[in-house]
Structure 1
């Protein structure tokens, strides 16, 4: 089920209302049923993948704790990790593996050894719930959390519908304790939740979707547009991605909060970062922290030689790029970021350079990571068009961006520009005056009115048209 749909506007109030009317013993069961239904709306057979992830993670971890032999513990840990990664690989990367095989060996469809794509459909949320399951297995093995023996609560941890299909990626220590006990309706949770999910709907429906239409036009036929439109496209795509993904996270956090659950934030105003590493620490926080804890630290982190530490950074960000998509252009995007972050870490290790950067006004510093992020999006968004691969489209757009060639232009409507300015103003206000901003939002009459207005507008839009799917559903 899509958040940005008329279906969800009926589903969520019904689930929330009944949840608070049920007795303690039925609440978690109702949430589990609602979560299963929420996922089944996409494709019922994909429930088997969710069930597989739950079962293999729960039982391998359960027997891991009972085992007395360290070798058996490790085998069971790897059974959980490999089991989850295997379904992720098969559904997300198998066709890309075939493509890579054919490309590397220079094979076409007539050659022996050519591997044709199977056309595997990517299940919603598989990139998120598999990582969530792996983190649980590793945390139990490391002794960070105790084993959770309640299968229904563990199933709810993996399948919790607000964050099931696009995160944030939850940790067991953050959410499993919250499943204990009875939840009763609280006005403060409702107020905060409505505020958060309304802001998410504003980002997604009122900003991301209209901006996406302009981005699609330029990327779909870049040769027809003016050179300035190449830069316009990547700038708009940065706004689209931020509003789309952080919008989903806001809706997830808000919905969960109304139900009485606190989900960690997934974005922290990334476009006000002071460098590229800081930007990625603020963007998709749950994935960045997951990679830090389960990849970077597992590789040795910075407890190794300086050269090895740089290698660990590169591998971690390279895997982040690979996670974002099974595509050559996305792989190039991830490699680009990996190299730059390693280079940035090396350059900023010199005290003189760091001191120089510290003297530059912050509003100028913000330009550097934002520009790099935008430039890399030439690759991230590029899709094959007639006669060109995704990478060729990206390279063509980069060349055209510096060519000063004339062509068609397009612009957004004034209301979209106003909404975009409002978004950046709010983010800047929170960045600099967060405490004061929270006090402003405590004027509930004003906040509730704005929330109601946003939700009514979105409901009207969903009743007459279909909103674009969230971008991160394809990851």
Structure 2
């Protein structure tokens, strides 16, 4: 409402429509009537999303097609402002409607509890995308204040603020300056800012999730964990089991599996993967670059399945030693390559960055010197930026095997409190000043 008071009615519409249709499933035994109600719900909810997020993109495709065939037709562009959080609460209500239709759990009768499920404020803007069977029972449960949960939640929020205010905001200026003006740069700087963006978007989005989950814990509500050290993955498939988990599992449960998942032939399985990731790309944004980003991840997984296929369904075997390190580096490279299309303003910008990223590499000294000049950073500033990134890497690596927050909390008071104080000082000292604190995923 602070953005545009009219947009609250979109949230209200999604809430009322999904609530009434879900209730209607229990009032009829006719499978046909249920299917019609489900279809009406899907069309209504996705229709709003299409209107605000994809209609102009659809018009652009029509205009491009008519121009190529010299047809004198020009469709208008509406340029509607995207309502904050619409992709997230639309998918949350769609998931609820489908679950109730399938009989996974009964429809919620209390409109207040259901409204709270749709609009629970920590996760409303950028997730994680909740499920009815996990959240609704928690809202109804009478809870006493749990100091241990609140303490853990505050510490998790501190980690989120570190990721956002320190790491992401330290990198965003360099990333934006290059990606928004790609024609002014050349060579190694493209590779450097792509890696920077990979870290920035992870810290920005996972930082928001940490804060949201931490706020939920203050109220005794457990939200879905959305990230699990994704850049330590050894395959793209593993990456998607660790990145934006609530969205990847949503697409798995409501799109990939209903299409047949991996229970079909190899060609159909590959097609299912590609469709799922293309839709995932479109979910993130209406544009060719997002489609390419999603298509690349679909292609990565198709190739992985072909190269590392196991008849017994064991998937990709985990390598050890140098092979493990190589698979980790290769996965990170493939993910970063796809990030170029995700962040680039156009396909032409992305192609320039890819095609000219190795310019002058035959003269290594000039290659490195050009990058330093383009970044406009002193070596001291580079070290300054590297320190928080290294701390983040240590935290994420340690999180693979243990709950770092719980581990530190279990130490003696003279150990843990100096750690807390030092961590807060790092946030205060390293936080980038004068940088917008808006979260990157608000635009989706």
Give me the TM-score of the superposition, normalised by structure 1.
Answer: 0.84
Q: Distance between the aligned counterparts of 1:340 and 1:306, measured in 2?
A: 15
Tell me the equivalent position of 1:367. 329
Q: Distance between the aligned counterparts of 2:230 and 2:428, measured in 1?
A: 29
Aligned positions of 1:369-388 closer than 5 A: 369-383=331-345
Tell me the equivalent position of 1:73. 34
Secondary structure of 1:378's counterpart equals: helix
Q: Which string of whole-angstrom CA distances, capped at 9 and with x for unpartnered residues, describes residues 49-84 of structure 1?
A: 000000000001101211121100111111111111
Tell me the equivalent position of 2:145. 185
**Are 2:410 and 1:442 aligned?**
yes
Aligned positions of 1:118-133 closer than 5 A: 118-133=78-93
Tell me the equivalent position of 1:430. 399
Secondary structure of 1:299's counterpart equals: coil
Tell me the equivalent position of 1:84. 45
Quick one: which of 129, 133, 146 aligns to 1:169?
A: 129
Structure 1 residue ranges without an equivalent (≥5): 1-39, 384-389
Structure 1 residues 451, 81: CA separation in 2 closer, same or farther (over 3 Å shift)?
Answer: farther
Q: Distance between the aligned counterparts of 1:180 and 1:436, measured in 2?
A: 31
Structure 1 residues 228, 452: CA separation in 2 closer, same or farther (over 3 Å shift)?
Answer: closer
Structure 1 residues 419, 294: CA separation in 2 closer, same or farther (over 3 Å shift)?
Answer: same
- Comparing 58-67 with 406-415, which one deviates more in the overlay? 406-415
Q: Distance between the aligned counterparts of 1:456 and 1:236, measured in 2?
A: 21
**Are 2:65 and 1:93 aligned?**
no
Give me the TM-score of the superposition, normalised by structure 2.
Answer: 0.90
Aligned residues: 425
Structure 2 residue ranges without an equivalent (≥5): 362-366
CA RMSD of aligned residues (A): 2.4
Structure 1 residues 354, 72: CA separation in 2 closer, same or farther (over 3 Å shift)?
Answer: closer
- The CA deviation at 1:437 is 6.4
Tell me the equivalent position of 1:44. 5
Secondary structure of 1:235's counterpart equals: helix
Secondary structure of 2:77's counterpart equals: coil
**Deviant stretches of 4+, over 4 Å:** 353-360, 450-458
Tell me the equivalent position of 2:374. 409
Aligned positions of 1:277-356 closer than 5 A: 277-349=237-309
Structure 1 residues 305, 252: CA separation in 2 closer, same or farther (over 3 Å shift)?
Answer: same
Q: Distance between the aligned counterparts of 2:403 and 2:319, measured in 1?
A: 28
Q: Distance between the aligned counterparts of 2:39 and 2:151, measured in 1?
A: 43
Quick one: which of 347, 363, 369 aligns to 1:391?
A: 347
Q: Distance between the aligned counterparts of 1:219 and 1:171, measured in 2?
A: 36
Q: Distance between the aligned counterparts of 2:20 and 2:279, measured in 1?
A: 28
- The CA deviation at 1:347 is 1.3
- The CA deviation at 1:185 is 2.0
- Asked if the contact 1:441/1:447 (under 8 Å) is kept, the reply is no
- Asked if the contact 2:395/2:404 (under 8 Å) is kept, the reply is no
Structure 1 residues 355, 335: CA separation in 2 closer, same or farther (over 3 Å shift)?
Answer: closer
Q: Distance between the aligned counterparts of 1:376 and 1:305, measured in 2?
A: 27
Q: Which string of whole-angstrom CA distances, capped at 9 and with x for unpartnered residues, describes residues 62-114 of structure 1?
A: 01211121100111111111111011111110111111112233369x96211
- The CA deviation at 1:330 is 1.5
